[in-house]
Amino acid sequence: MKVSELEGIKLDYWVAQANILNGGHWKDIELRPYRSDCWTLYDRSEDMIFGWITENFLDSIKLRQELNLGHAGLHFWPSVDWQHGGPIIQAERISAYAQVDEGNLLHWVGVVEQMQTARRGWLGPTPLVAAMRAYVASKYGEEVPDE
């Protein structure tokens, strides 16, 4: 699948995969399929689920109940939530800026500033989507496997 077409849960999934690839505090994390279009973030070092990726907030509430997590755990939503996407933008030195095309349509462009190869802008409908596409592309290139 083209990174430029990633959105929603698929984009969040590949951002999580990129975080795992980066290592750091994600080095012991494993994405485990829970059901169709839902993954848990499993911490092997702690032997526990600490988060999940789902399409929407209602699915997130249901999943928290199904997994008996109480108030623990987080809905990893970096393409929507600045609390998750913001630290990635800062750590990876990603710029996001607005661009208006010939038809006066607003797009956002995400660029990884520290890339050693030619800089490329990744478009998105929001600054977070554009930045997360740029992040995934910086780790995997222009396409990711269909999973």
Better-predicted residue by pLDDT, 119 or 57: 57
Can you tell me the distance from the alpha carbon of 22 to that of 50, in angstroms, rounded to the nearest whole number? Answer: 18
Query: pLDDT digits over 85-97, tens only?
Result: 999 999 999 999 9
Query: pLDDT digits over 113-127, tens only?
Result: 876 666 689 999 999
Answer whether residue 103 shows pLDDT above 80: no
**pLDDT mean over 10-33:** 93
Answer whether residue 111 shows pLDDT above 80: yes
Can you tell me the distance from the alpha carbon of 103 to that of 73, in angstroms, rounded to the nearest whole number? Answer: 43
Tokens found for residue 21: 């690839």
Would you tell me how many other CB atoms lie within 10 Å of the CB of residue 120?
A: 14
Can you tell me the distance from the alpha carbon of 84 to that of 89, in angstroms, rounded to the nearest whole number? Answer: 9
pTM of the shown model = 0.90
- Residue appearing with tokens 């999943």: 63
